[in-house]
Structure 1
Amino acid sequence: MMKGYNLIAAFTILSLASTFVTASDPSPLQDFCVAIDDANSAVLVNGKLCKNPSLATADDFSYSGLNVPGNTSNQLGGHVNIITADLLPGLNTLGVSLVRIDLAPNGGLNPPHYHPRGSEVLLVLEGTIYAGFVTSNPDHRLFTKILKPGDLFVFPFSLIHFQLNIGKTPAVAIAALTSQNPGINTVANAIFGANWPIYPEVLTTAFHLDKQFVEDLQAQEWVDPT
């Protein structure tokens, strides 16, 4: 269970997130939107249908359970619990979401990934986390920091970033993102776990790898920390 300090800190990061709202939504809240003339086959884009305001209740703006540790017994040793408008309807149209990140001791990892529709600010509640991001072409500069409870770190919009538990105890962090549906693209999963598999010659050239090694990687099971 998170201590009282951690709960206060979690609410604090919600207020911090409000300063980021204008950075993202109402940009696209999905990976793509194919045009269609048939209204019966169309889907709602950028948000959800809105409840009649007179029928709204406090429950629409509340979520319980973020104090519950995530299951980190997987190959990554990490678990990410993201709270979007799907779980907290009151977030709809507000341009913000929240994440709890749990990392197992001695190497629990939230692997390199990026959010196509949001920036992120991370607040460490427990443990010691090595976090960083890489800038885009052509520089590819790496910015990293060792974070302890109470420390913040910002991951700019759409840049690849990661969190690694370098401590001997579980690590917990809360992150606020500037979209009600920021999306997540885990780099290794997208490259080596694509469905269907990417033609191996593409990856052998791009990553300077042996073809058999690429095929072995593609044959593995790639999981997300959720």
Structure 2
Amino acid sequence: MEKTKLSLPRVAYFCMEFGLHESFPIYSGGLGILAGDILKEAKASNFPLIGIGILWRQGYTSQRIDQKGYPYDSYYEYRHDWLEDTKVKVRVRIRGRQVKCKVWKCTQFENVPLYLLDVNLPENDDRLLTGQLYGWFSEERVAQEIILGIGGIKALRALGIPVDIYHFNDSHPVFAGIELINELMEDKGLDFEEAWEQVKEKIVFTTHTPVKAGNEEHDHELLRYMGAYNGLTFGQM
């Protein structure tokens, strides 16, 4: 991802869902449609942006109506054989275990490259974590956000993609910021305050539901247990 003649910043756009086409159901609604449109507009405008998301094997729920007229949710195992295999795998630590994330690439819908993380691999015990979009709560939701955030940063590094700005579309990718801080502390020897100051200058955040009821809250003990601290302390988190 090269800088353009206008020296526009190279952006990695993180989102839990992307609505690129109805035949590729890794989205649930407005958040995903917006994210998909941004990738398409970036392609049309030659803007140096790439997407980071998750390959949801079962997508979002498909609602059906039973014979009595009651709605129910159904899930299907979708195949995406047309995605490009980047041959890249990265590891994240969840509940004390290493989980491998395979990275796929999607450019089939007139969009800039979208890189999707997938843990549905034979070597993983937690293969279902990238099964259902918004299908889980508590531990599994934190695990999915670790895959998106921490796994997403590691995927960028493994792919060799340079980034100037990290755009978090809603709060789900927040652990990417923790990984960026951890990188500077481990690789550059910065202390936490120095790393935090540098990282916050590189992150753009978009919120879509600016009320408490519309945002997730997680207990610190749960975050520590799941591995979201990623080397940081309670005070630093």
Both proteins in one fold, TM over 0.5: no
Q: Name the structure with the higher helix share.
A: 2
Greater RCO (CA < 8 Å, at least 6 residues apart): 1
Q: Which has the larger radius of gyration?
A: 1
